[in-house]
């Protein structure tokens, strides 16, 4: 499987695949003439990397995490486990923030809807709220 196919299957650009390799997030076997070759497993690998990106991890952090996924050993598992715990905490914090923001948005929309209803009824009440 060549780079174009991998990119298509994983739903990313060819450029991104090369970048992932450059960052040490992905390895490839080279054909005698220098073209990158991949197995089916790499498709999942790319998707996994994408998900970590989506979770806000930097390529450096991902690079620190992946060795544990790849070759579990005593030395790296401790450090990686700590790293994962850290990222898990960061992720949870981020999720909580987003939920809180969504709640804020919901309250804003509720007030807006109420205002809209009042206005539709021609009632100009004392609701001084925003929107």
Partner DNA sequence: CTAGAAGCTGACATTGACGTCAGAGGCAAG
Partner DNA sequence: CTTGCCTCTGACGTCAATGTCAGCTTCTAG
117 binds a second copy (CB under 8 A): no
Which of these segments, 6-14, 68-76, 85-93, 101-109, binds DNA (CB under 7 A)? 6-14
Pairing of strands 29-30, 36-37: antiparallel
Tokens of 23: 């960052």
Return the bridge partners of 30, or none: 36
How many whole angstroms separate alpha carbon 100 and alpha carbon 88? 18
The answer to whether the beta carbons of residues 99 and 105 sit under 8 Å apart is: no
The answer to whether the beta carbons of residues 65 and 52 sit under 8 Å apart is: yes
117 three-state secondary structure: helix
70 binds a second copy (CB under 8 A): yes
29 binds DNA (CB under 7 A): no
> Of all helices (H) and strands (E), which one includes residue 3?
helix 3-10
How many whole angstroms separate alpha carbon 53 and alpha carbon 51? 5
Nearer to DNA, 69 or 110 (CB): 69
Return the bridge partners of 2, or none: 37
85 binds a second copy (CB under 8 A): yes
Rounded to a whole number of angstroms, the minimum distance from the CB of residue 2 to DNA is: 4
Which of these segments, 3-11, 16-24, 34-42, 77-85, binds a second copy (CB under 8 A)? 77-85
Q: Which residues in this chain contact a second copy in the complex, by CB under 8 A?
A: 48, 51-52, 54-56, 68-70, 72, 74, 77, 80-81, 84-85, 87-88, 91-92, 94-95, 97-102, 104-106, 108-109, 112-113, 115-116, 119, 130-131
Which residues form the interface with DNA (CB under 7 A)? 2-5, 12-16, 18-20, 23, 28, 31-36, 50, 53, 58-60
């Amino acid at each position: 499987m060549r780079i174009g196919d991998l990119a298509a299957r994983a739903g990313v650009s060819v450029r991104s695949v090369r970048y992932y390799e450059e960052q040490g997030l992905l390895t490839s076997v080279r054909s005698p003439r220098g073209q990158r070759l991949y197995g089916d497993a790499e498709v999942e690998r790319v998707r996994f990397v994408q998900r970590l990106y989506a979770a806000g991890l930097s390529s450096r952090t991902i690079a620190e995490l992946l060795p544990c996924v790849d070759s579990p050993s005593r030395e790296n598992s401790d450090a990686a486990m700590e790293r994962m715990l850290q990222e898990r905490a960061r992720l949870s914090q981020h999720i909580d923030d987003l939920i809180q923001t969504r709640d804020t948005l919901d309250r804003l929309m509720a007030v807006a809807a109420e205002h809209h209803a009042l206005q539709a009824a021609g009632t100009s009440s004392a609701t001084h709220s925003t929107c």
